[in-house]
Structure 1
Amino acid sequence: MSHRSRLLAAGLLLLTMAAGCADPTTVSDAASTPDPTSGSTGPSAPATVPVTEADPEVEALVPAEMKKKGTLVFATNAPYPPLEYFKEDNKTLIGYDIDLGNAIGAAMGLKVEWKNISFDAIIPGLQAGKYDAGMAGFSIEHERLGTVDFVSYYLSGGGFLIKKGSGIKVGSFDDLCGYRVAVQKGVSQVDALVEASEHCVAEGKKAITVNQIPDQNVVVLNLASGRADVVVGDKPQVEYAAGHADGLCVISTYQTGHSIAGIAVPKGKKDLTAALQASINHLIENGDYAQISKVWNTGVAVEGATLSDQYQKVSQPWGVGPDGTVNKSLVFTDPAAIPPGHTYYYQPVREGCA
Structure 2
Amino acid sequence: MPTLLSRRSLIRGLASATAVATLATGLAACGGDSDAATTTGSANNGEVVIGQVSNGAAQQTTVKVSEVKSISAELPAAVRKSGRLVMGEGALPAGFPPLAYVGSDQKTLTGSEPDLGRLVAAVLGLTPQVKNFTWENMFVGIDSGKVDVAFSNVTDTEERKKKYEFASYRQDNLAFTVPKKSTWNFDDNYENLAGKTVSVSAGTNQEKILLEWKAKLAKEGKNLTVKYYQDSNSVYLALASGKIDAYLGPNPGIAYHNRQVADTPNATRTAGTYSGAGGSLQGLIAATAKKDSGLAKPLADAINHLIENGQYAKWLAAYNLSNEAVTRSEVNPPGLPLDNS
Q: Is 1:249 matched with 2:269? A: yes
- Checking the alignment, whether the CA contact within 8 Å between 2:5 and 2:205 is kept in structure 1 is yes
Q: Is 1:101 matched with 2:113? A: no
CA shift in 2, pair 1:80/1:287, >3 Å: same
State the alpha-carbon separation in 2 of the partners of residues 198 and 186 from structure 1.
17
Q: TM-score, normalised by structure 2?
A: 0.74
For residue 211 of structure 1, the aligned residue among 228, 247, 250 is 228
State the alpha-carbon separation in 2 of the partners of residues 137 and 32 from structure 1.
17
> What residue number does 1:71 align with?
84
What amino acid does structure 2 have at the position aligned with 1:249?
R
Give 1:160 shift: 0.8
Structure 2, unpaired ranges of 5+ = 25-39, 42-47
Q: Which deviates the most, 108-117 or 47-56?
A: 47-56
What amino acid does structure 1 have at the position aligned with 2:273?
T
Q: Is 1:117 matched with 2:133? A: yes
For residue 149 of structure 1, the aligned residue among 152, 165, 188 is 165
State the alpha-carbon separation in 2 of the partners of residues 191 and 68 from structure 1.
47
Secondary structure of 1:82's partner? coil
- Checking the alignment, whether the CA contact within 8 Å between 2:2 and 2:336 is kept in structure 1 is no
Q: Is 1:192 matched with 2:215? A: no
Secondary structure of 1:136's partner? coil
Instruction: Please provide the CA RMSD for this pair.
Output: 3.7
Secondary structure of 1:127's partner? helix
- Checking the alignment, whether the CA contact within 8 Å between 1:84 and 1:96 is kept in structure 2 is yes
For residue 54 of structure 1, the aligned residue among 67, 78, 89 is 67
State the alpha-carbon separation in 2 of the partners of residues 147 and 37 from structure 1.
33
Give 1:120 shift: 3.5
What amino acid does structure 2 have at the position aligned with 1:252?
G
CA shift in 2, pair 1:264/1:281, >3 Å: same
Q: Deviations over 1:65-85 (max 9, x none)?
A: 122322222221332222222
Q: TM-score, normalised by structure 1?
A: 0.71
Counting only pairs closer than 5 Å after superposition, residues 289-304 of structure 1 correspond to structure 2 as 289-298=312-321, 300=322
Q: Deviations over 1:166-196 (max 9, x none)?
A: 4544444454455443333432111112333
State the alpha-carbon separation in 2 of the partners of residues 208 and 262 from structure 1.
34
Give 1:276 shift: 1.1
> What residue number does 1:260 align with?
284
Give the 4+ runs in structure 1 shifted more than 6 A.
Answer: 1-5, 31-34
| Number of equivalent positions | 303
Give 1:162 shift: 0.9
Secondary structure of 2:204's partner? coil
Q: Is 1:162 matched with 2:178? A: yes
Secondary structure of 1:268's partner? coil
- Checking the alignment, whether the CA contact within 8 Å between 1:160 and 1:170 is kept in structure 2 is yes
Q: Which deviates the most, 87-96 or 222-231?
A: 222-231
State the alpha-carbon separation in 1 of the partners of residues 135 and 234 from structure 2.
21
Structure 1, unpaired ranges of 5+ = 39-45, 302-323, 344-354
